[in-house]
Amino acid sequence: MTTIFDTITEPIARRVTAGLVRIGHVLRSRAWKGATPEGVTPTQGHALGLLREAEGGLSLGAIASMLGISAPTASDAMSALATKGLVVKAPGAKPRSINLSLTSEGEALAARTSEWPAFLSDAVETLEPAEQAALLRALVKLIRAMQASGDIPVQKMCVTCRYFRPNAHPGTETPHHCALVDAPFGDRHLRLHCGEHVPAEDDALYEQWR
Ligand code: SF4
């Protein structure tokens, strides 16, 4: 049944996006507060976080595109981090390209400052367990979609892992199975980053889960 609100309300995708953008603004302004004693700007802090997730480092171009900034701005930010001893530059795989990776000091700072801000985890804690699981599931799908479009780097998530066996135990609270540790798990256990992750050959497992 349609109501007047179907015509006077913005599409739900736009309202959800607006909500996420608002949270993103707060995160951007607050999440890196812990880095300020080292003189790291939010952009530099964000770059440290990206480098921490990227095995083998990232090219300057990749960092610029992930941060949504120009190559010269990315270059300035990376030079500042290199001067602070947080990042090292090395010749990239392509001619004249530069690969960037974290030093041990950069790793430590990225680990320290990328912890979840308490204000956000406190807000998530106010949700019911089922709501938290549903939100996690939605986030996994969003991240997967952005990964497929190239808007974020590849994430080591369960749903894209070769060891993931979706719905191996149907009708139970833990319907999925991890073939690596040989144990069942549910949506609430889905990992966004797993050190043991091995990329699946195709999207079949993700589609099965989705
Ligand atoms: S190895 Fe890690 S990412 Fe892969 S299914 Fe098991 S827990 Fe998930």
The CA dihedral of 68, 64, 29, 84, to the nearest 10 degrees, is -170
Residue 180 CB less than 6 A away from ligand 1 = yes
Contact indicator for 187, 133 with CB cutoff of 8 Å: yes
Q: Give which of 192, 148, 129, 153 is closest to 59, Cα–Cα.
A: 153
Residue 161 CB less than 6 A away from ligand 1 = yes
Q: Specify the DSSP class assigned to residue 169.
A: S
Query: For residue 35, what pLDDT is reported?
Result: 53
Which tens digit of pLDDT belongs to each residue from 86-100? Answer: 999 988 878 888 899
Indicate the pLDDT class of residue 32, thresholds 50, 70 and 90: low
Centre of ligand 1 from the C-alpha of residue 89, in Å: 32
pTM (two decimals): 0.70
Tell me the sheet residues that pair with 199: 161
> Which residue ranges make up each domain of the chain?
12-113, 127-209
Which tens digit of pLDDT belongs to each residue from 156-179? Answer: 899 999 999 999 999 999 999 999
Q: What angle do CA 85, 151, 157 make, to 5 degrees?
A: 85
Centre of ligand 1 from the C-alpha of residue 173, in Å: 18
Query: For residue 3, what pLDDT is reported?
Result: 87
Rounded distance, CA 114 to CA 131, Å? 24
The domain defined by 12-113 folds into Arc Repressor Mutant, subunit A (1.10.10)
Which tens digit of pLDDT belongs to each residue from 130-152? Answer: 999 999 999 999 999 998 888 87
